[in-house]
Structure 1
Amino acid sequence: MAVDALCGPQVLLDSLGLVGQVPSELTEQVFDYVTERGMSPTPSVEGDAASDELGFMLRAQRAGDVLLSRVFFAKFEGWSDTVHDCVPTTGWRVR
């Protein structure tokens, strides 16, 4: 399931908003969050933050001339080991 950067809804990780943020700044904040809690920060293939332990990946979505963050939640169903593997083909096309 993916949450649209423009339409939301806002998703919070504690007090950290994951939707509609500047992707580069949010990636650093998410990496800090997971590291502080003893988890491994995982960069996506595009360099954005992902967390297999928490089951989500940030993605960037164009909003006019800027990029905003959107979040994709993974549902591991036995055939996948990472959040990246769970993103459907259509999810990679959203820009």
Structure 2
Amino acid sequence: MPSELLEEFFDYVSRQAMTRQISVEGDAASDELGIMIRAQRAGDILLTRPFFAHPEGWAYTVHDCVPTSEWDVH
């Protein structure tokens, strides 16, 4: 379940003394790890999938790296 993954993800990020982030869409992220855990609906099922990115100077956060087409995936 996405909520269980979010809890485990944030537990790990906290243990590593990294910043916990939530996007405006409610997705968990970590700029230090370069990952955002995206939630996606498939009918009545809620799935999670990772989105990997690293800003490397051209963007400020992982959230800024997400292409516009990715936000259309629900």
User: How high is the TM-score relative to the length of structure 2?
Assistant: 0.90
Partner of 2:40: 61
What is the aligned-residue RMSD (CA, Å)?
1.2
1:34 aligns with 2:13: yes
Q: Percent identical across equivalent pairs?
A: 66
Q: Which amino acid aligns with 1:58?
A: I
Partner of 1:46: 25
Structure ranking higher in helix proportion: 2
Q: Which amino acid aligns with 2:65?
A: C
Moved over 4 A (4+): none
State the distance in 2 between where 1:23 and 1:58 align: 9
The structural deviation recorded for 1:45 is: 1.3
Using CA pairs below 8 Å that are at least 6 residues apart, which structure has the higher relative contact order?
1
**Which of 77, 82, 85 matches 2:64?**
85
State the distance in 2 between where 1:91 and 1:47 align: 14
What stretches of structure 1 of length at least 5 have no aligned partner?
A: 1-21
- Number of equivalent positions: 74
Q: Which amino acid aligns with 1:47?
A: G
State the distance in 1 between where 2:4 and 2:55 align: 27
